Chains A and B, each alone.
Chain A
Amino acid sequence: MSEGATAAHDVLLVGGGAAGLRAAIAIAETNPSLSVAVVSKVYPMRSHTVSAEGGAAGAIAEGDTLDEHAYDTISGSDWLCDQDAVEAFVQEAPRELLQLEHWGCPWSREPDGRIAVRAFGGMKNMRTWFAADKTGFHMLHSLFQTSLKYTDITRYDEWFVTRLLVDDGRVHGVVAIELMSGRIEVITAKSVVLCNGGSGKVFPFTTNANICTGDGMALAYRAGAPLKDMEFVQYHPTGLPFTGILITEATRAEGGWLLNKDGYRYLQDYDLGKPEPTPVLRSMELGPRDRLSQAFVHEVEKGRTIESPYGPIVHLDLRHLGAKLIDTKLPMVRELCMQYERIDPVTELIPVRPVVHYMMGGVHTDINGATPIDGLFAAGETACVTINGANRLGSNSLPECLVFGARAGRAAAEYATSAKQPSPAVMRQADDEVRRLEQMRSPDRGHEQIADIREEMQSTMEDSAGIFRSGDSLAKGVDQLAELQQRLDRIQLYDQTSAFNTELVAALELANMLDIAETILHSAVQREESRGAHQRTDFTTRDDTRFLNHALAYRDSDGSVRIERLPVTITRWPPGERVYGR
């Protein structure tokens, strides 16, 4: 291994989803002389961005303003976002979405040919751009296909990054497994941008794809960068039972209702407004996700939900929207219901329950995507800038990937232009990593199974850090995770083959998830208040005196989690009450 790296680049993007591809194109366009590469554990067009349905927010409609988009985002975040980041975000989002239009994204249109926008949860005006209900799919394929035009972008498709090479406070590249051959390779780079997506798979019931294992967060965390606001996990109120497949918020934006077992629009009982026949913005079914998911739990407690083989559910009613609207604006919803639930939403009620959907937290970055490690940047769901604070608004995440993907790409390019060549000292680290990977596959490590530990981790997370948490539930979870960490060292891998060894990948992903799970619980223990998606039954109100600040989770040398606090940036919107439906 020590002979040298497999390849050397100026900028290396880890991840080929919306954030990674946007960053790659930004660099190819602004600094064509730099050598840019994208490494991704799946072919880029398979990245999880592909699953996004509802849309992408950017204020362009007549009567809408950037300030209103900013205010909705800030109040939606329960004032935990950084307002300088939000201001940059709302300002650049429309331009980024237009850029995608120029790159061929098939946005849905008004009759006169202009971009159409739809309502979305927590948004006061219609500002969500959409491509029917396959927005993420179309955005990702448009980005990927456009990226093919830039033949200088090198791609390492189906390469799994296992480690960041960091020496003297600066990143120098990565170690990765080429899955096809199983070879372990070193790619050096002057700057690295982590765009690895989210980590929903830490929980048992999630809309997230199998690949959402938080690898980027774990890579940064182990390399010494802090993870920010990890306690904030978004539950989306409407997932299909069993599969966890998302039924997009756009169903409610188009006029869908949430009904309990009595056919009653129960959200009216939770300070979210009055039931009107047609959708009212920032009200009832168009309230924010944290509040809607919490209302579901209260309905369960009141015995007003419906029992199903997969636990309690409520109903999403689209019947009054009619086949025509459903087929033009929500075709995928109909397709998914027919395929996975064998029901037709045109005539039947859709069973739904809250489902883990999005990580507000992630790798701590500044507003240009820079982490505290020199040359290391992050963007997209893996990063935490943060525009999402304690609760992300639906349709803010796709434009976040574009805005901060582009920013991080440009900043990483600039860094690479002036940085020195990677230090040869990191090759020793690469050797260590090779040894670690080989050791993982050595026989007689123990008898633990990947699937067992994964399932236990997932149920631990649901029990201890679900929609409602308490000091006790979290403390118990912390102990259980510590035990699982020990069992992880005794996992036995059976697959001794090199080619496409998915067992090894699963073991590495599990290790990543366990680290992330620990940061979630430790951050949650220390936040003794209720804010946004973090609801403590033992501290039921928001406490701005003690907790109007971010949690930064660092990994200590003994593997334990250390939490530090960082003030929130407030520019123009002092903390206030979150008001919906009034």
Chain B
Amino acid sequence: MADSIRMQVTRYTPGPDSVPTVAEYDVPLRKDWAVLDGLNYIKDHVDSSLSYRWSCRMGICGSCGMNVEGEPKLTCATFLTDYAPGPVRVEPLSNFPIVRDLVVDIEDFMEKLPRVKPWIIRDDDVTVIDGEYLQTPEELAEYKQFSNCINCMLCYAACPIYGLEPDFIGPAAIALAERYDLDSRDRGQRERLDVLIEKEGVWGCTFVGECTTVCPKHVDPAGAIQRYKLKAAKENLMTFLLPRAAR
């Protein structure tokens, strides 16, 4: 194994005429180094102005998503040796505005998230005094997968629809809506459907399925979208057949 690898890293500083450029750095190639370790090496030893987000370094906080060789990846869970002998290209996630170097602006997602009402909705007044809501392991298994989303935004970066149609609410938000819909403690399906049935909701998706392919946590957002479309289709049919009061 060679003892170093070249990283080609996007650099960008906002300004009136600035455009992203690519800088090249040689970093040590070590068996257990993630792409993120390469970036940290650059920041600590070569150029301390390089900017990117990271925190947990164990694939759970969702901060460190970037495009590595064109594919959205968690850089703390993607290893340099997999790209040897290099070079390896590291760019900001696609489909988001760039703030600086490898940092993108995800405010759009943060604004969409509350729209799907990702919290338990109920209309009774049960309180903690009444104890826990019972939920069997089977009921838990129903939604568990959709609850594992770390909001890393890799699916948005991979989604061609989101790239063309920024109003599309997007894979992770829909998966989260499905997570609560499937939770036996929740009664909010109706309210969420009202949001997701809109044009920017599930109908935006044309089943490309890239979101599920890139998801590092096996959340299967494409599956969630699929299920929602069925719900929405059924709902549309009901609207057609019955007056609102009868629904």
Contact = CB atoms under 8 A, between A and B. Distances in A.
Given A134-B60, A243-B58, A503-B49, A102 B133 contact: yes
A270 interface: no
Nearest to A45: B151
B119 A149 contact: yes
Nearest to B114: A148
Contacts of A106: 140, 143-144, 147, 183
B136 A180 contact: no
Contacts of A103: 119-120
Contacts of A211: 55
B204 interface: no
Contacts of B108: none
Nearest to A96: B128
B161 interface: no
B110 interface: yes
Contacts of A107: 132
B140 to A, nearest CB: 6
B13 A98 contact: no
A242 B57 CA distance: 12
A418 interface: no
A502 B134 CA distance: 46
Contacts of A506: 48
B16 to A, nearest CB: 13
Contacts of A138: 147
A146 interface: yes
Contact of B132 (A101, A141, A210, A340): A101
Contacts of A302: none
Given A103-B119, A157-B110, A209-B61, A499 B137 contact: no
A180 B49 CA distance: 15
A170 interface: no
Contact of B58 (A98, A141, A336, A495): A336
A104 B146 CA distance: 13
A109 B137 contact: yes
Interface centre among A42, A104, A137, A494 (most CB of B within 10 A): A104
A111 B137 contact: yes
Interface in B43-59: 43-45, 47-59
Interface string A92-119: 0001001101111011111111110000
B61 A98 contact: no
Interface stretch (B97-105, B163-171, B219-227, B237-245): B97-105
B132 A114 contact: yes
Interface stretch (A6-14, A46-54, A354-362, A391-399): A46-54
B167 to A, nearest CB: 20
A130 to B, nearest CB: 12
Interface in B13-63: 13-14, 32, 43-45, 47-63
Contact of B55 (A48, A112, A149): A48
A502 B43 CA distance: 10
B135 interface: yes
A340 B31 CA distance: 10
A127 to B, nearest CB: 15
Nearest to B32: A242
A146 B48 contact: no
A51 B135 CA distance: 25
Given A42-B55, A106-B144, A503-B49, A180 B105 contact: yes
A489 B38 CA distance: 28
What bracket does the count of chain A residues touching chain B fall in? 35 or more
B199 to A, nearest CB: 23
Contacts of A99: 128
Nearest to B183: A104
B194 interface: no
A114 B56 CA distance: 32
A284 B40 CA distance: 39
A138 B127 CA distance: 21
A114 B113 CA distance: 30
Interface string B122-155: 0000111001111111011001100111110000
A87 to B, nearest CB: 20
A245 B58 contact: yes
Contacts of A209: 55-57, 61
A545 interface: no
A339 interface: yes
Given A102-B120, A145-B118, A339-B77, A502 B131 contact: no
A137 B150 CA distance: 8
8 contacts: A45-B61, A46-B56, A51-B61, A104-B186, A211-B55, A243-B57, A340-B58, A451-B48
Interface of B: 13-14, 32, 43-45, 47-63, 77, 99-101, 103, 105-106, 110, 113-114, 117-120, 126-128, 131-137, 139-140, 143-144, 147-151, 176, 180, 183, 185-186
Q: Which 7 A-B pairs have the closest CB atoms?
A: A113-B134, A495-B49, A451-B44, A500-B100, A145-B118, A148-B114, A209-B55
Given A104-B185, A109-B135, A497-B100, 17 more contacts: A42-B53, A46-B61, A47-B61, A102-B120, A103-B120, A104-B120, A109-B137, A110-B137, A113-B139, A115-B132, A137-B60, A145-B113, A243-B58, A340-B58, A450-B44, A494-B47, A495-B48
Interface of A: 42-43, 45-48, 50-51, 95, 98-99, 101-104, 106-115, 134, 137-138, 141, 145-146, 148-149, 151, 157, 180, 209-211, 242-243, 245-246, 332, 335-336, 339-340, 449-451, 493-495, 497, 499-503, 506
